[in-house]
Amino acid sequence: MRNIPATKQDVKTSIEKAVDTIADMIGKGFAHNDTRLDGIESRLGKIENLLLEEQRRKIENLETRMKKLEDALAISPHKKSRHSLAAFHGLRVCSPLPPTPH
């Protein structure tokens, strides 16, 4: 059978003991959650680094492809080169139209 506090002081002491027990339980719960959150934060940091690295590689790849495209589209100022490029693509080269008067 459970002891029932006999005096006001006994009741006060029992309440303080119960509050301390609950506080300890809550503290342990928070400590456990803190370690779980630290693990999650660590994993998120790794994921972030992987995503940033992937994005960096993609940007470098795009820059390389753009450079190759720029080099491929570079046209020499000589007419022969212009005609050769157009012939390669099966296009007809025409002289530009004169500007229209305003």
Residue 88 has a pLDDT of 54
Region label for 101, one of left (φ > 0), alpha (ψ between -120 and 50) or beta (otherwise) = beta
Indicate the domain borders of the chain.
Answer: 8-88
User: Lowest mean pLDDT: which of 17-31, 34-48, 51-65, 86-100?
Assistant: 86-100
Cβ contact 16:5 at 8 Å:
no
User: Which of 26, 45, 25 lies closest to 37, judged by CA?
Assistant: 45
**Which pLDDT value is given to residue 31?**
76
Q: pLDDT digits over 27-45, tens only?
A: 887 777 778 888 889 899 9
Q: Is the pTM of this model over 0.95?
A: no
* Three-state secondary structure of 57-81: HHHHHHHHHHHHHHHHHCCCCCHHH
